[in-house]
Chains A and B, each alone.
Chain A
Amino acid sequence: MINKYKLILTLDAMGNSWSNRNATSNQNVPNGTLGPRPPQNAAQRNEINPRMLFYNSEFAWNFGENVFEGLSPYNSNALDIPPPSVVHERTVRNVVRLSKSSLQLVPSTLPKCYVLQFHFDTLVDCGILTYFLAKEFQDDHLLSFSSQCCSQPSIQYFRAGLGQTYRQGEAEALNFSKVAKESLVYRETDEYPVIVEIKCNLSNTGQAGTLGTELSSRSENSTNEEIEGYYIYLSLDKEQISSGTFPLRVIKQKIIVHGVIYELEEIYGIDSGNTATAQGCVSSTCYSEDGTNCAICLSQPRDTALLPCRHMCLCSECAQRLRFQSNSCPICRQSVQSFLQVKGLQSHKNN
């Protein structure tokens, strides 16, 4: 299975310092000499689940298996602090993968009405729901959504399998003569145009039956933590409104693991192939010149991402050197808080 889809989980422990850093570091960033910076949205960072303040680690996930290891953050102001050792962090097994480019609103059977449709792979049985124009509510262990315009959606169940298609039920179609298309463009408020909820842990939802037994027997053998819920927040692009097609863009993603809610962040530059960019997974614009090699030695494959800017631009050897000699990202010059080494990238590329 080709692995094009890798993500970091950013944890809340860093939330406050990140937004502070963003405020100061923006002034130091030159105008584009080194390529674009990944979008930083301090406002979004701030709405972080306080439960996660207990975690001070990064970890990442990867479809089908786990390969990530985090380095503990270091204090760049204290020069005499010894370099951080490699700390093995928790790993999470991602079990559902959406094809980002397939996310779109398609015409339903009724005139002027549209339903959500996308393609996905899943390694476990799962249930999918779609909310339009919904607000999010965070409980201790739960995310719930309430829609301003539509009634509670019904869940569709899917068996584990690759290459599947979700198509929202006709009864839930959004009527564009009643709801303005413009309202499906995200406005940085607490109302999200479209939210997809994927329940991956059906044994806990009372929907056990045969689906549940299969899942729980698998979980016992697994040392990995599997995600319980996967949430994708979507928006229409303003430019697309006048056109007849309605592809959707991912605004944010969250997952729940062991009752803890995490927001997912993408790593930039993991795969400079065009496929990945088309899928909206990574931005490869900074890296075109030297392919997938480290920006410093130009010879080793890159396997280390910098946080918080999330540029995956170094090999682990050069990352070690960078820790001692500089504290800014070679791509965007944002100061580096920690390093995230991603193991097993090469083996995937060769597959």
Chain B
Amino acid sequence: MSSLSGLPRRIIKETEKLLQDPVPGISAVPHEDNARYFNVIIQGPDSSPYEGGTFKLELFLPDDYPMAPPKVRFLTKIFHPNIDRLGRICLDILKDKWSPALQIRTVLLSIQALLSAPNPDDPLNNEAADLWKKDERRAIETAREYIRLYASE
């Protein structure tokens, strides 16, 4: 892996740990040509609206990582009050609540947790958030429909 040269020790360590000791339901593999770019797959958590879904994400570590947060985006379409049509995620630790003590692992765990607990009170996708507040059952049905269309293997 020649792309590892010049990479901060921290990123190498995190990558090694992610590969050797992956988080259940999450895989994160660095791109062959760019060790700062990860292909991520998150399985929809059990007994959540997203159960059974397989969601692809991209994660990029900017130059000033870990002082700056990683950039993460859903590639798979998802109906979720905190994830918009472009796959952008409304998560405080990816913005102002980022801390360099957090890691790729903790970020992905937080995203997994966001799938288990959608928060319509802090919406990024207004359509999903409104439906979630008005008619949660229909919202969850819509989320399942999206999984059938976009997030099934």
Of residues 309 through 333 on chain A, the ones whose CB sits less than 8 Å from some CB of chain B are 313, 318, 321-322, 325-326, 328, 330-331, 333
In the assembled complex, A162 has its CB within 8 A of some CB on chain B: no
Say if the beta carbon of B134 comes within 8 Å of chain A. Answer: no
Q: Assess the A333–B13 pair: CB atoms within 8 A.
A: no
B99 contact set on A, CB distance < 8 A: 34, 328, 330-331, 333
Asked if A322 and B13 sit within 8 Å, CB to CB, the answer is: no
Residues of A within 8 A of B97 (CB): 30, 33, 333
Which of A34, A296, A328, A333 contacts B66 (CB under 8 A)? A296
| B101 within 8 A of partner (CB) | yes
- A328 and B8 alpha carbons, distance in the complex (Å): 22
The answer, among A299, A321, A325, A331, for a CB contact under 8 Å with B101, is A331
Q: Which of A30, A297, A325, A333 contacts B10 (CB 8 A)?
A: A297
B135 within 8 A of A: no
Main secondary structure of the interface of B (DSSP, over half): loop
Residues on B with C-beta less than 8 A from A333 are 97, 99
Q: How far, in whole Å, are A185 and B93 apart by their CA atoms in the complex?
A: 40
Q: How far is the CA of A296 from the CA of B13 in the complex (A)?
A: 11
A241 within 8 Å of B (CB atoms): no
Whole-angstrom distance between the alpha carbons of A331 and B99 in the complex? 7
Residues of B25-64 at the interface with A, using a CB-CB cut-off of 8 Å, are: 64
- Give the A-B pair count, Cβ closer than 8 A: 43
Q: Is the CB of A296 within 8 A of B101?
A: yes
Nearest Cβ in chain B — how far from A332, in angstroms? 9
| Known contacts A34-B101, A296-B101, A297-B8: A325-B67 contact under CB 8 Å | yes
Known contacts A299-B13, A330-B101, A331-B101, A33 near B93 by CB under 8 Å: yes
B93's closest neighbor in chain A, by CB? A33
User: Given that A30-B92, A326-B67 are known contacts, is A298 also in contact with B14, CB under 8 Å in the complex?
Assistant: yes
Taking the closest CB of chain B, its distance from the CB of A83, in whole angstroms, is 15
Residues of B within 8 A of A295 (CB): 100-101
Q: In the bound complex, what is the Cα–Cα distance between A295 and B100 (angstroms)?
A: 7
CB distance from B112 to the nearest CB of A (A): 14
| Contact between A298 and B9, CB atoms less than 8 A apart | yes
* A33 CB contacts on chain B under 8 angstroms: 93, 97, 102, 110
Most buried by A among B13, B92, B93, B99: B99
Which A residues are in CB contact (< 8 Å) with B9?
Answer: 297-299
Binding site for A on B (CB under 8 A): 8-10, 13-14, 64, 66-67, 92-93, 97, 99-102, 110
Give chain A residues whose Cβ lies under 8 Å from the Cβ of B110.
33
| Interchain CA distance A127-B63 in the complex, whole Å | 58
What is the 8 Å Cβ interface bit string for chain A, positions 284-307, against chain B (1 contact, 0 not)? 000000000001111100000000
- In the assembly, what is the distance between CA of A328 and CA of B100, in Å? 10
- Cα–Cα, bound, A321→B10 (Å): 14
Give 18 pairs: A residue, B residue, CB < 8 Å, sorted on A: A30-B92, A33-B93, A33-B97, A33-B110, A34-B99, A295-B100, A298-B9, A298-B13, A299-B9, A299-B10, A299-B13, A318-B100, A322-B67, A325-B64, A326-B100, A328-B99, A330-B100, A333-B99
Q: How far is the CA of A322 from the CA of B100 in the complex (A)?
A: 9
With a cutoff of 8 Å between Cβ atoms, the chain A residues found around residue B13 in the complex are 298-299
Q: Mark A50-94, 1 if CB is under 8 A from B, else 0.
A: 000000000000000000000000000000000000000000000
Q: Which residues of A contact B64 (CB under 8 A)?
A: 325
In the complex, which residues of chain B have a beta carbon less than 8 angstroms from the beta carbon of A313? 101
- Leading 9 A-B pairs by shortest Cβ distance: A330-B101, A295-B101, A299-B9, A325-B67, A296-B100, A330-B99, A298-B13, A330-B100, A298-B10
Residues on B with C-beta less than 8 A from A299 are: 9-10, 13
